[in-house]
Chains A and B, each alone.
Chain A
Amino acid sequence: MKKQPHYKYNQRVFGTLSATFLSISLFVYCIDPYWLFHRKPVWDGHNIVLALKMRFTKSLQVIFRQPRVVIIGSSRVYRGIPTNKLPQYNAYNLGISSLRISEADAYVRHVMRWTPVKVIVLGLDYFMFDHAHQSEPGFDSSVTNFNYLFKAIPSSLLTLMAVKDSLTAMEGEKKSDGHWTWSGFKITKPRPAERMEVVVNTFYNDHKEVTDQELNKLENIIRQTRLKGIELKLFISPLNQRMINRMKKMGVYEEFERWKAMISEVARSNNVKILDFSKNNPFFIDHTEHGSSTHWIDPSHYSPKTGLWILTQTGFLVAHKNQNN
């Protein structure tokens, strides 16, 4: 019996669509530019896409990893807290470049909804509470929505963005400044001396306005985690003398101290302990005149060795005698 023309039409259309998208998704799955599916993908740790699309990537990675411990913070966290040293905890490093407190609030809710997380560690930085910057480019506010996954997972397989990112991932090795690990931590290459002053000069150039809106976000994080029975650990990122001097020079030191007092008050009123490592750390003298040192990648970012000390202070690791050297 001769097939109807419309039957053949449908066959051709849906056949073409299926073949095309199967091919595309297979290609993207094999390359795995967002490091979701394979323990050892083809590009082996040096993938510039993970840095360029950090917010998108990590929002999906944390779901695929299903961690019990999640450490959230800025680039200081993802470069400094070596979660690959915590396999026993199944920890994931959700440090994101220039993370803002509003974004942190959204990611905490995202993590609580989709993972079996038991402990959340939140590294706080002064710039995160800047009222003028509620979020950064690449942040998708729908990450708190139930159907975010229905959008994000197909996007990571079927879209032009995924194809382009796959191609970028394949040529990434030359461009990346470090080596990503499965747990979201990035092993950063040592930085040269000339980079140090550049980093210092990018900080504290303007005054940050911290309003109730930002403090409420922190309070919301505390309340949400308490409601779900999740342990929340807060710490203020370690700083060094060079950064403190920079703050004093730019006239923001008092604002910084005021900010610390405000967030400490929020934590105290909600019966949550906040560990202040800003000056209370044994690595206050940074020794970065000649480039990256033992405890500092650059004047702003502490090294994984310092990160290990933080993990000890927060109770994840037992202190060793020579850990502070």
Chain B
Amino acid sequence: MVFWNYHITSLYYCHTRFCAGFIQTLHQSLERLIKYYARAKNICRSTLAQGCFQSMLFNSFTFLLIFLPVTLLIYYKIVAYARRETAILWLVVASLFFYGWWNLAYVLLIVSSILFNYLTGSLLARYKARWILWIGISANLLLLIYFKYTAFIIANIMTLTGTHLEINGIILPLAISFLTFQQIAYLADVYSGDTVEFSFHHYALFVLFFPQLIAGPIVHHREMLPQFTQGNLKFRHHNLAAGFTIFTIGLFKKVIIADNLSGFSDTIFAAAEIGNHLTLIESWTGALAYSFQLYFDFSGYSDMAIGLARMFGIRIPINFNAPYKASNIIDFWRRWHITLSRFLRDYLYIPLGGNRKGKLRRYINLIVTMLLGGLWHGASWSFFIWGGLHAVYLIINHGYRYIFRAFSLSPHAGTGKLLSTSLTFLAVVVAWVFFRAESFSGATEVLRGMSGLNGFVLDNTSHAATIWILISMAIAWVFPTTQDFIRSPEPVADQHNQPAIVWRTSPIWSFLTALMAIIVILNLHAVSEFLYFRF
């Protein structure tokens, strides 16, 4: 009995001690949890209050190490369970998260815009009323004008009238220019009966899909929506292989080439803005450095967008096709920002009359299209001038094409092609000066230097700048485009060129791809924005 009493007492004692210990541990854990919860709440509250977000860039650790792997993994897990619609929904959520990383409050704006356009599209599909179309287009344009052009309009009114008007800072929502055009195109096509009915989450993904959300391409619903219903979204190794390779090439172009060139162009254009007289070499260095910076920035971004989409088994259109190889300005605009040119042609130039109403009207339509295209890039007179310059170039191009045809001449025979390509490039570089400069005076200062009006001094311009520009020229004019060279298992784009170098799945190519990715990631400590994010 004593033994049992002792045993029970011991058990009771141990049990009590164990329980006490357990409770104490639980209490401490709970206290820690409460502390961490309070800290997390504090972090979130201060983050929301201060609005201290930065957009999630493709060339950032947040995107490469966290967002992309997590999104991909979960997407394919869902697809593996044959849940297509859930996978689409997941992509919508991920894309909203991607957008909201910049500013949570503006997610409401973008969702409202999508809802509005989807409902308007549904009404249009049912009633085919022109006034519904106009309301839809006007609402989209008003939103764009308010956020993007209000400050510009007011600044000009103040300059013209000498008055002073107070406006609070209007934050330009990311991607608004691209979203607006995409949705306007959708409404116009619904009205003309060129669409099939789609569910809301398919439409939402068409607008929000994160690879193309922030800086294009301006995808067409015809290109995207059928892929969500009929496309094969299952995981395929070739999609991952090709997609990752294209993405890595794009990242390399942006981080290694474009970012290195930006240092040279920024210095020179900044000097021009403060009125420094630039020498011939300096101004040409700045203009060429910027021309190639923009080329590789945009080309890199386009590759990344295509590569990312491909990793998810989705194809988006090419947006960039070696534009500096163009032999004339018309050809240039078929290679640079292809989807923007397509939109402007189909939804502005052609509705204005295109070339169907005589030569004079054609040129007027061209001018209007290019001026508005210039303004779309930014609320500034320098973008307007840039668009105007390209309008003039296009008119001249159409003009001499007519002359050549009239005399049965070919402008691209023999050395003619080299000359025309060089001339086209020169014209484009001159126009880029206005695109880049922050003011008209800055642009004219650079152009003065380029034309030799500040003297022909051969100064000590950086050898590094010269080397980078030469490398960029070689890549832009000699190397095949990414879509030409990634052709396995089937061509990414509809190209008939046969480049000398073609990507394969051999060990050498896998090593090269890995090497490019390693070089890029090792250089990611200074994160820089994409130039086209600003539009």
Contacts and interface: CB of A to CB of B under 8 A. Distances in A.
A144 interface: yes
Contacts of A159: 521-525
B514 A150 contact: no
Interface stretch (B79-87, B389-397, B504-512): B504-512
A145 interface: yes
B61 A6 contact: no
Contact of B525 (A17, A147, A161): A161
Interface string B124-138: 000000000000000
Contacts of B242: 6
Contacts of A24: 522
A5 to B, nearest CB: 4
B521 A144 contact: no
A12 interface: yes
B167 interface: no
Nearest to B521: A158
Which residue of A6, A8, A162 has the most chain B CB atoms within 10 A of its CB atom?
A6
Size bin of chain B's contact surface:
35 or more
A210 B522 CA distance: 41
Contact of B237 (A10, A21, A161): A10
Nearest to B38: A116
B33 interface: no
A16 B53 contact: no
Interface in B137-189: none
A21 B524 CA distance: 13
Interface string A150-186: 1100110011111100000000000000000000000
Nearest to B509: A9
A4 B511 contact: no
A114 B50 CA distance: 14
B53 A150 contact: no
A132 B514 CA distance: 45
A6 B241 contact: yes
Interface in A1-55: 4-10, 12-13, 16-17, 20-21, 24
Contact of B513 (A4, A13, A142): A13
A113 B48 CA distance: 12
Contacts of A158: 61, 521-522, 524
Contacts of B52: 109, 144-146
B62 interface: yes
Contacts of B238: 4, 6
B509 A17 contact: no
A247 interface: no
Contacts of A6: 236-238, 240-242, 489, 505
Given A16-B514, A151-B527, A160 B522 contact: yes
Contact of A147 (B53, B505, B510, B518): B53
B244 A13 contact: yes
Contacts of B39: 116
A7 B525 contact: no
Interface of A is mostly: helix
A4 to B, nearest CB: 6
Given A16-B510, A155-B524, A10 B244 contact: yes
B45 to A, nearest CB: 10
A228 B41 CA distance: 12
A145 B54 contact: yes
Interface string B27-57: 0000000010001001100110010111010
A10 B514 contact: no
A12 B507 contact: yes
B423 interface: no
A112 B61 contact: no
B522 A9 contact: no
Contact of B510 (A13, A150, A151, A228): A13
Contacts of B237: 4, 6-7, 9-10
Interface string B221-262: 000000000000000111011101000000000000000000
Nearest to A21: B521
B60 interface: yes
A167 B121 CA distance: 61
A162 B86 CA distance: 41
B505 A5 contact: yes
B2 interface: no
B58 to A, nearest CB: 14
Contacts of B236: 6
B517 interface: yes
Contacts of B521: 21, 158-159
Given A6-B237, A154-B61, A161-B525, A12 B101 contact: no
15 contacts: A6-B240, A6-B241, A9-B241, A9-B510, A10-B240, A10-B244, A13-B510, A16-B514, A21-B521, A146-B53, A147-B62, A147-B101, A155-B524, A158-B521, A228-B42
Given A13-B513, A142-B54, A158-B522, 17 more contacts: A5-B505, A6-B237, A6-B238, A6-B240, A6-B242, A8-B510, A12-B507, A13-B244, A21-B521, A113-B47, A114-B43, A145-B54, A146-B52, A151-B61, A160-B523, A160-B525, A228-B46
The 10 A-B pairs with the shortest beta carbon distances in the complex, nearest first, are: A12-B510, A16-B514, A6-B237, A154-B61, A9-B505, A160-B522, A150-B62, A5-B505, A6-B241, A6-B238
Interface of A: 4-10, 12-13, 16-17, 20-21, 24, 109, 112-114, 116, 142, 144-147, 150-151, 154-155, 158-163, 228
